[in-house]
Amino acid sequence: MTRPRPEIERALGFIACHLEQPLSTADVARAARMSESHFQRAFHEALAETVGQFVTRKRLETAALRLAYEPGTSITEIALSSGYSSSSNFGKAFAGYFGNAPSEVRNPGGKLPAQVSKLLARYGKSFDPRTLYTLPEEPDAQSFQSEVDFWNQRVRFETSSGLHLACLASPGAYDLEALQATWAELIARGRQLGLCGAEVDAWGMALDSPDITAPERCRYHACVPCPAAAVLPSPLFPGVMKAGRYAVFRYAGPVAGVSAAYRSIYSCWFRASSVLADDFAPLDHYVTNEPRDGSIDMEMWLRIRPRE
């Protein structure tokens, strides 16, 4: 597996932090510290997408997650917050990309289109809204409340002023072997640069949801805190943890269960709470330095905002 260029990964992190704002290729190229023409070529070579295509895809993928996990938010509100001038334009773009109307995400029990979607044509998999939910079918009231109670016992709230991070991209996204190799390299390089001691303050930044983004397009950054002015030789690159208020959930269990834990939090706990996820780019904070015997002890940090 080839590790992505640090300049491109820095650009992806910048896009993830500013997805709700207007973004131009010049803005992203500036964040990557490359000339716009050089950046455009390098970006397309790395992702087989233009910057505009990538931003559109990420906004539509985020909108799909919001449609599934925020049933109380109208399609029009999601459309406008995704940069579309109307729910009609958003619906056309969403259906043109996924092959499903936004309303079908809200009705996962309904009959899905039989035709191969554009996502299948582009990325080798079909988009099934039912995969966004915690269970194959909506949980009954007792199961739903059980999930909510489970996470209520494992959540605390933190207000962060943000962190500057030294990051290293995993060449295999969420593949466990790739992650372990990435962390080993980051810790070694961090110690060489004086950023890590015997105890490592390890953070992970998941830039894509594996439920909706094709595996080969998922991106994961292993990170450790660093001074704002730290010099980070390639393949390291700078990243940031956004300032804001976070819901922090403790998870200790199988590595294979992390994705289901996130789905449970998004589809059950948030639905019963007075807050919404401010974005879908959570951070993992590792209590232990690495998975042991297939298990992990970690905290899941999700930036939140009040429900309106």
pLDDT tens per residue across span 183-228: 899 999 999 999 988 888 999 988 887 777 877 788 889 999 999 9
b/e per residue, 249-269, with b = 16+ CB within 10 A?
bebeeebeebeebbbbbbbbb
Say what the pLDDT of residue 139 is.
Answer: 67
Say what the pLDDT of residue 121 is.
Answer: 43
User: Facing residues of 220 across strands?
Assistant: 206
Say what the pLDDT of residue 122 is.
Answer: 42
Name every residue whose Cβ is closer than 8 Å to that of residue 28 and which is 6 or more positions away in sequence.
11, 14, 15, 39, 43, 51
- Output phi, psi for 15, to 5 deg: -60, -45
Say what the pLDDT of residue 13 is.
Answer: 84
DSSP state of 129: G
Say what the pLDDT of residue 209 is.
Answer: 79
Say what the pLDDT of residue 174 is.
Answer: 82
pLDDT digits (tens, 9 = 90+) for 248-270: 999 999 888 888 898 889 888 99
Q: Are 294 and 180 in contact (CB under 8 A)?
A: no
- Output phi, psi for 182, to 5 deg: -65, -45
Residues of the chain with pLDDT under 50: 110-127, 129-130, 132-136
Say what the pLDDT of residue 224 is.
Answer: 95
Measuring CA to CA, which residue among 129, 134, 132, 93 is closest to residue 113? 129
How far from 248 is each of 124, 152, 192, 280, 306, CA to CA, in Å? 34, 11, 31, 14, 15
Say what the pLDDT of residue 127 is.
Answer: 46
Name every residue whose Cβ is closer than 8 Å to that of residue 174 and which is 6 or more positions away in sequence.
206, 210, 215, 218, 220
> What 3-state class would DSSP assign to 225?
strand
What is the model's pTM? 0.81
List domains and CATH numbers for the chain.
Answer: 6-136 (1.10.10.60), 156-306 (3.20.80.10)
